[in-house]
């Protein structure tokens, strides 16, 4: 049973962490003057990404996608082949994935259930390097409906630093209220206003009482205060742009309030993510389908099997996994179409966007991380090659791809989260993956 005190503490810490109250000191606006790319989206499907579900026609060498037909599971992306780069030849052996690499999937370090993050993950680092917005990094997590209700926030994929997990939002009602409650009507607006009053009062009381605590408890207590302060600060910043937000807020209908299947809430969360991107609220969106764990359900697609059992099914030519992968790709298409509809500079928002589609668990359940496929969509404002199938001749770690992303946004580095000793075992080169750079 959760009492009111536990609920308030969980909300403060969860939402405060979710919106990144601590900025990494070594990532202070390196690319603040860089106009491109404007945004990066990470989409991770749990249970692994079998190469056979995305390699077209058994390709094994670097080639153009122009005259190639995509594999059935990713066929929805066929019209976007010119914006695509399918990348093979990366590994994550050092992340020790099994059921999931957890924070290691985006961190490029050893992960595992119950293991705290060892460093900031690439999504958060990029969010701090790009020009800052009201909400630099938004994270949403899709799961079985009962899990999203019982655990509206969960931290398993993103981190702001060592031991600093960042929460994903999984309840679209709560997230809608937080971002668009100030411009809503009816019950949503009333709940927003009531919660705002409570949070403001709690921040005041908490700030007054914390100084009397023992030193051992003061830091933890301070995190609660920071959490409420972040919530209230975000609400104030959103109130300042309320007229602008009205143009982008998604319709608040039955898929929010009365979902029949978990996919209704998946779609609602995606709508909020798209609205946040279009409104310019965020630069970086991380989507966790399965929330970085071994769970997840897709009953709305007619998939009866759920959770861990899905991970023990072979993905190639499996109608269940074809449905899940095609559903992912339809979401990716919806993201791209939404960004293509928004003019920006001499083109559209999609021209300044990069989408990274992969898994939190390399190629399969119970993997050693030897093969870790990625699909890139968008050219990062001309910095990433597209229209390609890229087969890397010598396997490099996923860290090398993340190094490449940093080069692409104008924040070059030799390695990402990999010291010289570890690189001596797992990476034979320094710097970005040249085959991907335009």
List, run by run, the mean pLDDT of 10-residue segments along the chain (438 residues). Answer: 34 42 39 62 96 88 94 97 97 92 97 94 97 94 97 95 94 92 69 57 55 59 56 77 92 95 98 97 96 94 92 94 98 98 94 97 92 96 96 92 96 95 92 96
- The β-bridge relationship of strands 63-64 and 84-91 is unpaired
* 201 within a domain of the structure (yes/no): no
Which pLDDT score, from 0 to 100, does residue 99 have? 87
Cβ-contact 182, 238 below 8 angstroms? yes
* 18 within a domain of the structure (yes/no): no
Domain that includes residue 153, residue range: 29-173+254-436
Cβ-contact 332, 77 below 8 angstroms? yes
* 20 within a domain of the structure (yes/no): no
437, 424, 147: which is closest to 292 by C-alpha? 147
Cβ-contact 284, 134 below 8 angstroms? no
What is the rounded CA–CA span in Å between residue 292 and residue 161?
Answer: 18
32: Cβ–Cβ under 8 A, 6 or more apart, which residues? 129, 131, 132
* 214 within a domain of the structure (yes/no): no
| Burial of 155 (C-beta count, 10 Å sphere; 0-12/13-18/19+) | buried
* 298 within a domain of the structure (yes/no): yes
What is the rounded CA–CA span in Å between residue 306 and residue 298?
Answer: 7
∠ CA(211), CA(216), CA(220), 5° rounding? 75
* 147 within a domain of the structure (yes/no): yes
Which pLDDT score, from 0 to 100, does residue 184 have? 62
What is the rounded CA–CA span in Å between residue 270 and residue 331?
Answer: 8
* 202 within a domain of the structure (yes/no): no
Which pLDDT score, from 0 to 100, does residue 328 have? 98
Which pLDDT score, from 0 to 100, does residue 50 have? 96
CATH value at residue 44: 3.40.720
What is the rounded CA–CA span in Å between residue 93 and residue 108?
Answer: 10
Which pLDDT score, from 0 to 100, does residue 20 have? 40
What is the rounded CA–CA span in Å between residue 97 and residue 159?
Answer: 17
What is the rounded CA–CA span in Å between residue 364 and residue 218?
Answer: 43
Which pLDDT score, from 0 to 100, does residue 273 have? 98
* 244 within a domain of the structure (yes/no): no
What is the rounded CA–CA span in Å between residue 283 and residue 38?
Answer: 6
Number of domains in the chain: 1
């Amino acid at each position: 049973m959760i009492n009111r005190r536990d609920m308030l503490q969980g909300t403060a810490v969860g939402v405060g962490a979710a919106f990144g109250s601590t900025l990494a000191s070594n990532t202070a606006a390196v690319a603040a003057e860089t106009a491109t790319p404007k945004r990066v989206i990470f989409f991770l499907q749990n249970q692994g990404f079998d190469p056979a579900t995305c390699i077209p026609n058994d390709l094994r060498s670097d080639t153009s996608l122009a005259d190639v037909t995509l594999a059935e599971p990713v066929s929805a992306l066929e019209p976007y082949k010119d914006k695509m780069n399918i990348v093979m030849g990366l590994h994550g052996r050092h992340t020790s994935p099994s059921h999931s690499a957890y924070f290691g999937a985006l961190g490029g370090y050893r992960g595992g259930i119950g293991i705290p993050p060892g460093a900031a993950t690439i999504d958060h680092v990029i969010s701090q390097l790009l020009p800052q917005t009201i909400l630099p990094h938004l994270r949403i997590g899709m799961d079985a409906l009962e899990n999203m209700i019982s655990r509206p926030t969960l931290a398993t994929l993103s981190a702001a630093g060592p031991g600093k997990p960042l929460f994903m939002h999984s309840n679209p009602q709560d997230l809608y209220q937080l971002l668009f409650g100030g411009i809503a009507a009816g019950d949503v607006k009333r709940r927003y206003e009531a919660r705002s009053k409570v949070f403001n009062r709690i921040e005041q009381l908490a700030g007054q009482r914390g100084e009397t605590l023992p030193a051992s408890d003061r830091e933890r207590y301070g995190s609660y205060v920071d959490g409420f302060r972040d919530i209230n600060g975000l609400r104030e910043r959103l109130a300042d742009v309320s007229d602008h937000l009205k143009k982008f807020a998604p319709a608040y209908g039955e898929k929010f309030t009365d979902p029949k299947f978990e996919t209704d809430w998946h779609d609602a969360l995606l709508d909020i993510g798209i609205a946040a991107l279009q409104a310019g609220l965020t630069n970086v969106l991380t989507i966790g389908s399965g929330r970085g764990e071994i769970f997840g359900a897709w009953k709305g697609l007619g998939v009866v099997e759920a959770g861990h059992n899905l991970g023990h099914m072979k993905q190639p030519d499996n109608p269940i996994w074809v449905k899940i992968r095609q559903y992912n790709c339809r979401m990716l298409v919806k993201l791209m179409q939404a960004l293509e509809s928004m003019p920006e500079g001499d083109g559209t928002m999609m021209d300044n966007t990069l989408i990274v589609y992969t898994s939190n668990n390399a190629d399969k359940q119970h993997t050693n991380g030897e093969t870790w496929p990625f699909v890139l969509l968008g050219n990062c404002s001309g910095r990433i090659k597209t229209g390609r199938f890229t087969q890397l001749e010598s396997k490099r770690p996923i860290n090398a791809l993340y190094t490449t992303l940093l080069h692409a946004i104008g924040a070059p580095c030799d390695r990402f989260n990999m010291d010289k000793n570890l690189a001596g075992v797992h990476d034979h080169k320094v710097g970005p993956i040249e085959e991907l750079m335009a």
